Each structure stands twice: as structure tokens, then as C-alpha cells.
Structure 1
Amino acid sequence: MTEYMPIMLDVREMKVLLVGGGKIAGRKAGQLVAAGADLTVISPHAGSDILKMEEAGQLRWIRREASEEDISDYRIIYAASGDEALNERLAEAAHRVGTLVNVASRAQAGNFIHPAVLRRGRLIVAASTSGAGPSAASALIRELDERFGEEYETYAEFLYFMRCKVRETVDEPEIRHRLMRKLTETDILNQIRQDRFVPWSDIEAAAWIAREREE
């Protein structure tokens, strides 16, 4: 069994190639555009989602069949055409040059896969079966959707705000770690759930940091 390494990847302005223009390619294009990728689509035909994104200037669409030679200019390849043989040829070419490649028609042909994802603002919860059963991972995410409500978006924003303040004022890594752990032990999440939470000001954040770092 392939042992995948879970990561969160920043693809802003990264050159990404998406081969294919159907529904699967359209969904991937939307995700990549939302993440800020420098996206090129190669396909003789494209669905309405890709057309709309091209018209909005969010991606480039090259209207032809892709070939192995196309991959050399890109850091990530998505082989999502309806032609499985083409997808596999692109994957083999990507492997030869060490490029990351995702293959929609057969996950094992690529070297990375996408998990099912639940987003709550900065909070991202991912689930994967390592390609064994994507529908099972999606079902798990639906269960987690009921577990993690909208309050987690506010909570994650609060933690991000405080992490920035801690990094600005505390130099010692071990104290930073202790302060962030203490934050997760506070009653903030319950306050948000009960609609009692008032966002902290810079002064309140600084006072909390000063008080807790001495303990």
C-alpha cells in the first residue's frame, strides 16, 4: 500500500497544468483558481465552468490535445482528460522529470492524491482512504460537517490573530508553544458557541500574553 504524506500546499502563482475540460477538470480548475494557482488548461473542448473562468481571466485555455512535451513548463500536472491512455502517458512523463502529477482516472498512476475536505475558514479538515474508496472519505467528511459548526471559523480566526500577536512579542519558541497551548485550553470556543464572545483588542491580547507568559 502506498504511504502518502499529508501536506498543505501553497500554490499561489505556481504554474499548474490541467489536462481535460470535463466536469472533473472543471471542479479541479475551480479549486486551483480559488487557491491562486497560475493555471493553464489544455483540452480541445471545455465545459461551462472552465469557459467562465477563462472569460474572467482566471486561467488560460489552450484548445488542443495535450502531449508529453507540455509538462516541462509546469510544477504540478493534473491529468483529468477522458482519455485514460493519455492520462497515463502524461503521468509517466511527469515521473521521469520529477514533476508532481495527479491522475483522475487512476490515482495510483500519479504521485499525489486529493483528500475529501471540510473547510471552516482557516480550519481545514481532510480525510482520505489513500485512493481505496473516495466515496467513503466523502461520507466521513459529511459526518464531520455536522460535528464542526460555523463557530470553528471564528475560533480559527481568533487563534490566528493570537498566534500573530504571540510571534510579535515573544522570542522564545518554548514560551510561544506554551502560550498557544494555553489558548486552546481557554473557554473561547464555548463563548463563541453561546454567542458571548467579543473579539479581543490588541491591548487585551497583549495583556493576556504578558500575564500568561509569567506563569
Structure 2
Amino acid sequence: MKPLYPIFLDISDRLCVVIGGGPVAERRVGGLLDAHARVRVVCLTATERLQQWAAMGRIELRMEPFQPVHLDDAMLVFAVTNEHTVNEEVARSAKERNLLVNVADAPEQGHFIVPSVVRRGDLCLCVATGGQQPKLTAQIADELAERYGTEYEKLLQLLGKLRSEILTATATDPQLRQEALERLHEQTPKLLAMIRAELDPEPEARAVLNQLLRPWLSQSSPKEGQR
């Protein structure tokens, strides 16, 4: 495999087409739905979960042989059937339309591979071995999932909230903004430990930031005679 360029795509409300209806297709669709994509699945037989998603209106399911027209308006294409010749046809049709395509059984025939993913809210950890060692990829992903638990989702929610408030409060003072963001980052280990102990870390974080920002806020507030 050639060296690959890692990238995170915003596919929210963008059409992604999955050709195939087996377990691999189901995993691809699940990941696409997590990213809020619109999903079209084309296959002759579909797993029970794919059928359930279709019944719920979460995906468009077309139980028919692949045709190039199925790729209309797509942003990404996934060829994941158990028929190599069909996957080749999907890849060829996608390339003719200048669409990015992933080919499950022949990664070198596509434009990208799908890594193993560990999600903790906005934290997204991806592992890939260039399509060469899927089992090793899965093993490393499992290790990351154990290392980075659900507490990181709560941590990122809090940090994101406080960061937004810092940016607003220091809109005219870039130096103070940087100092406040660095101070917030320094608090990360303590906040994480509090979350793991099932304690609310927000008061602790706010106390540190308020102490830092109070002098600036008092200076920027209107004086009594200026109101």
C-alpha cells in the first residue's frame, strides 16, 4: 500500500452509498450513521439490522443489483459485497464519476481505507495498518478503548463549554486568552480524576478560571460614573 493521508471528513447530511448488505456493510453503515450521514444501501440480501434501520427510516435500502445510477449524488462509496467482480465494478463506476471509493476486499483498488474507531463523544481515536493487518488494528483499538474510557466524553464536554466561555470573555485580549486556555489545560488531570471519582469537576475548574479572569473582567467593566 502507498502511504495514506489521514483526514477527518464532515459528512453530516451528505449521501454515502454502501454496496453490499452483509456484516461488513452493517459496520460501515453504523459508522456513517454515527457521523450523521445520509446512507443508501444497495444489495440483494441485507442483515436484520440493516432492514431494521431501513424500516425506521434511518437508511435508504434498495434490494436490487448494483447499477452506476445508484452512485448519483454520493460523496463517498463503499464496495463491500462478497463478490469481487461486483466490487470491481463499483470501484470502476465510482472512479469514472470522480468519487472516493473504499473497496473492502482489495484496498489498493480504492482511494481510502476505513480505520478501527474508538469514540468518546468528540474524542475520536482511529487506528489503521494500511489494510495489511486488520486483526492487529482491532487489537490496538481495543487497547485504546480500555485506556480512554467514557470519562473522556464528560471531560471534553466540560472543556468545550469552558473554552467557549473563555473565548467570549477574552475576545479583546489574546494574551489573556492564551494564558486562560493553558491554565485550563493544566487542570485536565485533576478534572479527569474527579470525573473518575464521580465528582462534579466544574466548580473546581471555574474557581481556577475565575481567579485568573477576575482582574481583567473588573478592568473591562464600566466604572460607576461611566454607566
The TM-score range, normalised by the shorter chain, is: 0.7 to 0.9
Query: Structure 2: 5+ residue runs without aligned partners?
Result: 218-227
1:68 paired residue number: 68
Which sits farther off after the overlay, 167-176 or 115-124? 167-176
Distance 1:174 1:136 in 2: 45
Contact 2:184-2:209 at 8 Å conserved across structures:
no
Q: Which has the higher mean CA deviation after the structures are superposed, 191-200 or 48-57? A: 191-200
Give 1 or 2 for the bigger CA radius of gyration. 2
Query: CA contact under 8 A between 1:163 and 1:180: conserved in structure 2?
Result: yes
- Among residues 182, 197, 203, which one is paired with 2:200 in the alignment? 197
Shift of 1:191: 2.3
Partner of 1:185: 186
Q: Distance in 2 between matches of 1:23 and 1:200?
A: 45
TM-score normalised by structure 2 residue count: 0.82
Q: Between the two proteins, what is the percent identity of the paired residues?
A: 27
* Alignment partners' CA distance in 1, 2:177 and 2:112: 33
**1:91-118 deviations in whole A, cap 9, x for unaligned?**
1222233211111111121111111111
The 5 A counterparts of 1:126-145 are 126-145=126-145
Deviation at 1:154, TM superposition (A): 1.4
* 1:36-115 to 2 correspondences below 5 Å: 36-115=36-115
Shift of 1:3: 2.0
SS at 1:101 equivalent: strand
Contact conserved, 1:166 with 1:209, CA < 8 A, in 2?
A: no
- Kept in 2, the 8 Å contact 1:165–1:205? The answer is no
Change (3 A) 1:100 1:206: same
Deviation per residue, 1:48-81 (Å, 9 max, x gap): 0110001001111112111234323211111111
Relative distance call for 1:213 and 1:78 in structure 2 (3 A) is farther
Change (3 A) 1:208 1:5: farther
Report if the CA contact (8 A) 2:183-2:209 is conserved.
no
Report how far residue 128 of structure 1 moved: 0.9
State how far apart, in whole Å, the 2-side matches of 1:212 and 1:143 are. Answer: 45
Amino acid at match of 2:192: L
Distance 1:209-1:127 versus aligned 2 partners, 3 A rule: farther
Indicate conservation of the 8 Å contact 1:103/1:110, yes or no: yes
Q: TM-score, normalised by structure 1?
A: 0.87
CA distance, structure 2, for counterparts of residue 183 and residue 202 of structure 1:
7
* Secondary structure, aligned partner of 1:73: coil
Shift of the alpha carbon at 1:206? Answer: 6.7
2:5 is matched with which residue?
5
**Cα separation, 2, equivalents of 1:88 and 1:69:** 16
Partner Cα distance (1:202, 1:150) in 2: 19
